[in-house]
Amino acid sequence: MTPTRVYVRGAVLDAVGEPVVVRALELIRPRAAEVRVRMLASGVCHSDLHVRDGEWDRPTPIVMGHEGAGIVEAVGPGVDSPRIGDLVALSWLIPCGTCRSCRRGHVWACPDSPSYRHALLDGEIPFRTAHTGQPIRAYCAIGTMAEAVVVPAVAAIPVPPGTDPAVAALIGCCVTTGVGAVLKTAAVQAGASVAVIGLGGVGLSCVMGAVVAGASRIVAVDRVASKLDAATWVGATDTLLAEGDAASTVRALRDLTDGGPDFVFEAIGRPDTVELAIAALPLGGTAVLVGLTPLGARASFEAYPFVDGSRRILGSNYGFAVPAIDFPQYAAWTLDGRLPVGRLIDRRLGLDDVEEAFAAMRRGEYTRQVIDFG
């Protein structure tokens, strides 16, 4: 017998700037083209912290989390894929399927995604508080910081059996974002020199992507020394502690890369490090902006040498991902050792520890924290 109601615990942000609290929630049953996923792991990404701290404008109340994996435990009528029992990584960008970007296959640039309404495809909101029945949205329409979620079937991408669920969770955001920024957005060529500024889950994934691309030098930059060790473990050839002013970091980057890195990836989301990334470029160099700033933030650069030197700036959302193709590929690369994603995970916590995880992230501690539902 299928239970008529499913109750779960979920980490809810009642209002931006307030602490996340774990609440008992009622979850709707999967309808046509929807599935229910029993969560196994949810990574804690800085994009969750941007929302928590009110740097972005998002509707509340909302179940947090957008980097997760679990097992499909129920499917709605007519759903052929995924199947019950599949291990799936969840995509935080669900394409509308009809806009100009989607028609071109550029699903990462879909502006009409239900993910931006934090609701299911028809606007239905998947969670209710168990006691009052108040609707609670799901961040990016997946809200991975709950024991189970109901998502569109297209958002639940099967990954090979044997993939560590925590690794599969990270494929849902930071791995796809960072590896894809290098391999897809920038299409870094073998032999190119690369710098990565900011070494959280996203920046370290840029480092791993640069290794796969065959970059000749990979300079990893952070203001926290322990992050430099983590970068070395995943393949950086050189590290740089950003402790002085921007000009000295730029000089050091140029010294390490014969006049400046061919590609600089900014994986923090601060105007000053965006400007640093652009300032470090050699002639013909490319800055790839992956970090997301608070809304309204601006960065500037001197235009003449930028044009005269044929430099480029690229924005990269979700690593230009086509999740149904890229998630299984990245998962296969974790299984054959090409992407050592497991090394990013240096802290596992429970659902009640989300605020503690955010506090550690603000302090620059840990490379990737994962909520373990097991």
Ligand X SMILES: NC(=O)c1ccc[n+]([C@@H]2O[C@H](COP(=O)([O-])OP(=O)(O)OC[C@H]3O[C@@H](n4cnc5c(N)ncnc54)[C@H](O)[C@@H]3O)[C@@H](O)[C@H]2O)c1
Cβ-count burial 331-349 (b if 16+ within 10 Å, e if not): bebbeeeebbbeebbebeb
* Chosen from Zn ion, ligand X, none, partner binding at 290 (C-beta under 5 to 8 Å by type): ligand X
* Chosen from ligand X, Zn ion, none, partner binding at 199 (C-beta under 5 to 8 Å by type): ligand X
Residues near Zn ion, by CB under 5 A: 45, 47, 95-96, 99, 102, 110, 112, 173
Q: Residue 315 Cβ, how far from ligand X at the closest point, in Å? A: 8
* Chosen from ligand X, Zn ion, none, partner binding at 267 (C-beta under 5 to 8 Å by type): ligand X
Is 335 or 360 the residue whose CB approaches ligand X more closely?
360
Is 23 or 227 the residue whose CB approaches ligand X more closely?
227
On whether the CB atoms of residues 136 and 10 are closer than 8 A, the answer is yes
C-alpha dist (Å) from residue 311 to 262, 263, 274: 10, 10, 14
Q: 332: closest CA among 142, 107, 174, 175? A: 175
Is 114 or 285 the residue whose CB approaches Zn ion more closely?
114
Identity of the amino acid at 24: A
- Judged on CB neighbours under 10 Å (0-12, 13-18, 19+), 190 is exposed
Q: Residue 124 Cβ, how far from Zn ion at the closest point, in Å? A: 19
* Chosen from ligand X, Zn ion, none, partner binding at 369 (C-beta under 5 to 8 Å by type): none
Is 6 or 345 the residue whose CB approaches ligand X more closely?
345
User: Sign of dihedral through CA atoms 28, 29, 35, 40?
Assistant: positive
Is 23 or 46 the residue whose CB approaches ligand X more closely?
46
* Chosen from ligand X, Zn ion, none, partner binding at 333 (C-beta under 5 to 8 Å by type): none
Is 96 or 314 the residue whose CB approaches Zn ion more closely?
96
* Chosen from ligand X, Zn ion, none, partner binding at 62 (C-beta under 5 to 8 Å by type): none
Q: Helix axis angle, 246-256 relative to 271-279, nearest 10°? A: 40
Q: Residue 266 Cβ, how far from ligand X at the closest point, in Å? A: 9
* Chosen from ligand X, Zn ion, none, partner binding at 110 (C-beta under 5 to 8 Å by type): Zn ion
Identity of the amino acid at 160: P
* Chosen from ligand X, Zn ion, none, partner binding at 99 (C-beta under 5 to 8 Å by type): Zn ion
Q: Where are the alpha helices (DSSP H) in 114-200?
A: 165-171, 174-180
Is 6 or 250 the residue whose CB approaches ligand X more closely?
250
Q: Which residues pair with 135 in a beta bridge?
A: 128
Q: What are phi and psi of 200, to 5 degrees?
A: -85, -160
Q: Residue 133 Cβ, how far from ligand X at the closest point, in Å? A: 32
Q: Are strands 368-372 and 345-349 parallel, antiparallel or unpaired?
A: parallel
Taking CB atoms, the residue at the shortest distance from ligand X is 200
Is 33 or 102 the residue whose CB approaches Zn ion more closely?
102
CB atoms within 10 A of CB 33: 16
Residue 335 DSSP label: H
Residues near ligand X, by CB under 6 A: 45-47, 50, 173-174, 177, 197-203, 222-224, 227, 242, 267-270, 273, 290-292, 316-318, 361, 364
Q: Residue 363 Cβ, how far from ligand X at the closest point, in Å? A: 9
Q: Residue 63 Cβ, how far from ligand X at the closest point, in Å? A: 18
Q: Residue 77 Cβ, how far from ligand X at the closest point, in Å? A: 33
Q: Residue 28 Cβ, how far from ligand X at the closest point, in Å? A: 27
C-alpha dist (Å) from residue 182 to 38, 187, 210, 246, 346: 32, 6, 6, 24, 24
- The separation between CA 370 and the C-alpha centre of its own chain, rounded to angstroms, equals 13
